[in-house]
A and B are shown apart, each in its own frame.
Chain A
């Protein structure tokens, strides 16, 4: 009979093996799905890989997709470490996009670019922040479970977006399509590498992940977050204001997700529409977990998942393999990762 025995110490090696194997399991299941459709998985994966990392342009697209992932998961690392399960990055991202688009759509187009972009950055962060502070306040004062409140707010955000896109924010000349009018040049984020779509947002993402690393490992706030994440009773005993810290952490996390939404509409799409890739909000949860909530690892995981996403788009076009395959790989990877957690604290043994 197999039985589990508690480990005395978590082996460092496993912290690398488990995420890698989890992704491989996801890839394996993806291969089965591709086989069922009747295509050779090897050629699909080869194409996916080349379209993600094969040349500078492919890699630039990977970095473009990694940008929102890195921004959002940076914030998620902070709240997840405190034991707050913010599933609402999806909605916070949408609110960030809406708030920042307001300036692009309704402000005069001839506002100087730095001013316009600053307003949009601040607007996007505030939008995401509001959407994250609501569940934080509900949790702190009325003990409302944040998993449920953040998840439900995602739908509300999506409906707010749809309401605007089919309503007053719709471009009258868009032939009924739910699109806003295009952003003026002053509202478009500058591209930092020529002939790519890597915008200034990529720099923001790198700064964000460094800032989160710094907050977690160096500051007083990071220390208090650590204690709260371990045990709130201990935190209260140590005199830490748990509620205040939760609200601040959620605000930071929401602001970063909102910024990701802003970067997407201002840097990539250049108008507001219903489809603004808000699913990055869910993928980032996987990215944060697969990095074991470590900011440095998260930098690399974001690039891997960015690659899967951008490669996935390419194979959808070139090989007619549905983009759904990407979601399949990601979700099975997360499923395996969560399932494998038991091996961190326990080891499997065999008895008679």
Chain B
């Protein structure tokens, strides 16, 4: 491999009012190298790339391109330095042709556009990297994979030598992935350098040369692909958090509370994201779900909560068939759900803490009587929650978005918990919480268990899963790789299953 450093990041730190998104990041990108950036959601991959592309400015640190210190203030600067970004959500105008999209925003085209010349250039690029597209077609006529090719041509047309590919495979069908890798390899041969952002381990092993693992805004390690394995990477990604040693006694309940059998779910863009999955939850049990994010855990629990439909299979809860029932029906049956996306789904961010606190009981007595909401009672209910859960809030009548992430999470957790669910589904309930609050939330979940209620816990923290759940289900590409007893399994085995091995194969 060529050893010329084309891009160097030195001590990059990015602070936001509440968090440090990137903490002293040092990275080098070599000429003709595919450098994978691996990390969970929120690890800081995207923030870092946005700084390279001039969307954010770093709070500290410097970026060097070909050994020269640069200030990238806008995406225009980035393009001028030869940096191109292929966004996860395409930036294409659907009603325009491929050619029109490619030249959109270019300033050196003059008044009259020389289509023949541009077409020739596009053809050259297409042929060299096997990016076959017809420049005269409209974007809306193209498949997602073809649109991605247009995005790549667009970047190459602008003369980029450093490409940032932001989760390029997230939108692709499995059979479209390999052709993309082929394109990446061709670009590599042509001495282009690439940052490849992903959280899929298989892909990293398939295409990259160097891998940097990010966690909580820091580079855990940069390592050559040949020196590592999928399993080691999984462990680095998830990391070791502070270990709380929770004492919990073994239970011998064998009464099934939830039985999910053979369900199938499609993602928002129509890809099969849950593939014939089955699992069960016992009464008084905490079932952990482990898996690299994006493998279907969100869709699995949303289907149980009634927010997604399954065309196949059956979900039985407490002897009632809840398959494809409405979210209200399922909540009333005793399942409460804490979504991972608290601002986008769990909370109404512009509304007050009061409005948010009563979202689960506004239609029931005593908050509601004869179609009228008793806001006085709503207020005292909110006050109660704030006190019980120690939520730091100046004024419960002001919009909830003014609260810190941790406090929002506490309110959301409290709201769902106080409904006394038979089954609480908690997605990343401790994400963004400080240590004390984390422990508080974990103890609450254990208390639910003691009261013979159940919890489904999705977490990216293996230690959390191992210490508080009774069993752990491992999910990979929408399939359950196995459900294991948390007392007998070890992290290494979970790591293997997270990377796609079945439980029966690793014993």
Name A residues whose Cβ lies closer than 8 Å to a Cβ of B: 8-9, 218-223, 226-227, 230-231, 233-241
Contact = CB atoms under 8 A, between A and B. Distances in A.
Nearest to B305: A237
A219 B373 contact: yes
B327 A218 contact: no
Contact of A227 (B337, B359, B398): B359
B402 interface: yes
A227 B348 contact: yes
Contact of B373 (A218, A230, A235, A236): A218
Nearest to A10: B399
B347 interface: yes
Contacts of B328: 239-241
A227 B351 CA distance: 8
B371 A230 contact: no
Contact of A223 (B327, B347, B362, B402): B362
Contacts of B307: 236-237
A233 B340 CA distance: 13
A230 B362 CA distance: 17
Given A218-B372, A218-B373, A238 B359 contact: yes
What bracket does the count of chain B residues touching chain A fall in? 20 to 34
A221 B371 contact: yes
A226 B373 contact: no
A239 B349 CA distance: 17
A223 B349 contact: no
A221 B326 CA distance: 19
B330 to A, nearest CB: 8
Given A219-B373, A223-B373, A234 B345 contact: yes
Given A8-B402, A238-B359, A220 B344 contact: no
A260 to B, nearest CB: 26
A227 B307 CA distance: 17
Contacts of A231: 344-345, 348-349
B327 A236 contact: yes
B264 interface: no
B326 A226 contact: no
A240 to B, nearest CB: 8
A230 B327 contact: no
Interface of B: 307, 326-328, 331, 337, 339, 344-351, 355, 358-360, 362-363, 368, 371-373, 375, 398, 402
Contacts of B339: 237
Contacts of A235: 348
Nearest to A227: B348
A235 B349 CA distance: 12
A233 B331 contact: no
B345 A233 contact: yes
Nearest to B331: A239
Given A226-B351, A234-B345, A237-B327, 18 more contacts: A9-B398, A218-B372, A219-B372, A220-B372, A222-B373, A223-B362, A223-B373, A226-B355, A227-B351, A227-B355, A230-B348, A230-B349, A233-B345, A236-B307, A237-B307, A237-B346, A239-B331, A241-B326
Choose among A219, A234, A240 the residue with the greatest number of B CB atoms under 10 Å from its CB: A234
Nearest to B398: A9
B348 A220 contact: no
B337 to A, nearest CB: 8
Contacts of B398: 9
B69 to A, nearest CB: 22
Contact of B355 (A9, A223, A237, A240): A223
A233 B326 CA distance: 14
B370 to A, nearest CB: 10
Contact of A239 (B327, B350, B358, B375): B327
Nearest to B306: A239
Choose among A220, A221, A237 the residue with the greatest number of B CB atoms under 10 Å from its CB: A237
B350 to A, nearest CB: 5
A223 B372 CA distance: 10
A219 B337 CA distance: 25
A220 B345 contact: no
A346 to B, nearest CB: 15
Nearest to A230: B348
A227 B327 CA distance: 15
A227 B360 CA distance: 12
Contact of A220 (B327, B337, B368): B368
B351 A230 contact: yes
A227 B347 CA distance: 9
A238 B364 CA distance: 13
Contacts of A221: 371
Contact of B371 (A9, A220, A227, A238): A220
A8 B327 CA distance: 34
Contacts of A8: 402
Contacts of A230: 348-351
Nearest to A239: B328
Contacts of A241: 326, 328
14 contacts: A8-B402, A9-B398, A219-B372, A221-B371, A223-B355, A223-B358, A223-B373, A227-B351, A230-B348, A234-B346, A236-B307, A237-B337, A239-B328, A241-B326
A284 to B, nearest CB: 24
A217 to B, nearest CB: 8
Contacts of A236: 307, 327
Nearest to B374: A218
A342 B331 CA distance: 39
Contacts of B363: 220
Contacts of B345: 231, 233-234, 237
A226 B372 contact: no
A249 to B, nearest CB: 15
Choose among A9, A222, A226, A239 the residue with the greatest number of B CB atoms under 10 Å from its CB: A239
A238 B350 CA distance: 16
B238 to A, nearest CB: 27
A8 to B, nearest CB: 7
B351 to A, nearest CB: 6
A240 B329 CA distance: 11
B327 to A, nearest CB: 5
Nearest to A228: B348
Give 10 closest A-B pairs by Cβ, nearest first: A239-B328, A230-B348, A239-B327, A238-B359, A234-B348, A237-B345, A233-B345, A230-B350, A227-B348, A220-B371
